[in-house]
Amino acid sequence: MNDTERHEIEMLLPWHATGKLSAEEKRRVDVALARDAGLRRQSELIGQELAQTVTSNEALMPPRSLDADKLMAMLARESKSPAAVASSWFARLKDTFNGPARVPLRWATVAAALLLVVQGGAVAILVAQRETGRYQTAGDLNGTQAPGTYVLARLNDAASIADIGKALQQRSISIVDGPKADGFYTLRVGGAEMSIAERDAKISDLRSLTGLVVFVAPLK
Amino acid sequence: MTESAQDLALMERLAAGDHQALKVLFMRYRLQVFRFVGRIVRNDAVAEEQTNEVFLDVWRNAGTFQGQSSPCTWILAIARNKAYGAIRRRREESLDEDEGQELADEGFDPEGLAMISDKALILRRCIDALPLEQRMIVDLVYYHELPVAEVSAVACIPEGTVKTRLFNARKRLSTMLLEAGVDREWP
């Protein structure tokens, strides 16, 4: 490990302490910590810094007057409603995902077309339910859902089926449920053993697919 | 429904003009926002006022939420802007009144700290005495537990700068602690 590599590791140590690194970054830091006593010492110091930062934050308590009723009274004086915002993202999404007949048909086609490899080697076949516009996995058909790590997502209905299928397949990600009434899909991004940092890395990766994925969030 | 899905559903209801959704969001995040703002403005009354303003802005701008970050990160970004705005206004007012000293960062008194035997307390005092830009990153990483990308989004600085700023804050802590008689033997 040269000086540059060591310094990169040093800068990642705080996120190693909070479990917010990608799987690859965590592996690099773990290897470095095993070899370098100086880094291990820094890691101990970071633990102390973290504990005292939490204590300092928790000492700050809001006054009783910071209550919801006061906020509601202030809100009542607001003239502008967010609903008045033209073409809000949610409104567009609602149109996209919940339009009559159009969505179930389109995504039924997607489901029929995609055979997505679930991480670990198992294969999930998405079964379209044309009547309900909802999909079922093989696991769902058995009344069970396979153990795994799941995220909540909204997909870009304007994107091509081929592009979405290719992107998910390349990442061993499968659609396991949806669309729900609010337009969300459940995606399986990995096995149950996946760490939070690995899951967050998957989420970041999905968010980078800006033309295909509109929204991604962890399912806890 | 999961916490994330609940937040998203609340954001959607907000965008549709649902007052009750703001109330729920406020109850869920008011403590986190108050502490984040309070640590920046260092004044409970201002923190309370700005926390209310944050949620009013959340209400006003719910329709522009793009879902590219979590609702929590989005709210903290609004909170940062509100807190900085409050600091700017107070600075202008104080300069008018020639009371600029009031806005100085919490005093670092190494000699006073050297009288304290509790090393954890000394460390806490040093963290609280860090310059605002460094202290905010420390809080976002250690207390709010945000990953690098989300800290970057809240603090409006590149991810590389987030890492460097925290590293420099940690080095500064060592220097401050040494001045207060505590040798961390790093760097």
Asked if B146 and A20 touch (Cβ cutoff 8 Å), the reply is yes
Q: In chain B, whose CA is at the least distance from the CA of A80?
A: B60
Question: What DSSP assignment string belongs to B41-64?
Answer: H--HHHHHHHHHHHHHHHHHHGGG
DSSP state of B140: I
CATH 3.40.50.1000 matches B3-100: no
Give phi and psi for A176, each to the nearest 5. Answer: -110, -15
Write down the mean pLDDT value for chain B: 90
- pLDDT tens digit sequence for A18-46: 999 999 999 999 999 999 999 999 999 99
Question: Percent of chain B, pLDDT > 90?
Answer: 71
Please say if the pLDDT value at position B87 is more than 50: yes
List, in sequence order, every residue forming a beta bridge with A117; answer none if it has no partner: A123
Residue at A115: amino acid letter: L
- B106-179: which CATH architecture? Orthogonal Bundle (1.10)
Q: From the list A88, A182, A200, which residue is nearest B63 (CB)?
A: A88
> How does residue A65 score in pLDDT terms, banded at 50, 70 and 90?
very high
Residues B31-38 have a mean pLDDT of: 97
Which of B31, B124, B126, B127 to mutate against chain A (most A CBs within 10 Å)?
B124
Choice among A23-32, A176-185, B140-149 with the minimum mean pLDDT: A176-185
Query: Which residues from B are below 8 Å from A71, CB to CB?
Result: 22-23, 26, 52, 55-56
Q: From the list A10, A75, A90, which residue is nearest B15 (CB)?
A: A90
Each residue of A147-158: b (16+ CB within 10 Å) or e? Answer: ebbbbbbbbbbe
pLDDT for B1 equals 64
> How does residue B100 score in pLDDT terms, banded at 50, 70 and 90?
very low
Q: Is the CB of residue B43 less than 8 Å away from at least one CB of chain A?
A: no
| Total residue count of chain A as it appears in this document | 220
pLDDT for A9 equals 97
Query: Which residues from A are below 8 Å from B139, CB to CB?
Result: 53, 57
Rounded to two decimals, the pTM is: 0.67
Write down the mean pLDDT value for chain A: 73
ipTM: 0.92
> How does residue B16 score in pLDDT terms, banded at 50, 70 and 90?
confident
Query: Which residues from A are below 8 Å from B11, CB to CB?
Result: 90
Domain boundary assignment for chain B: 3-100, 106-179
Domain boundary assignment for chain A: 3-58, 89-218
Choice among A52-61, B87-96, B170-179 with the minimum mean pLDDT: B87-96
- A46, B170: Cβ pair inside 8 Å? yes
List the beta strands (DSSP E) in A55-210: 115-117, 123-125, 127-129, 134-136, 149-155, 174-177, 185-190
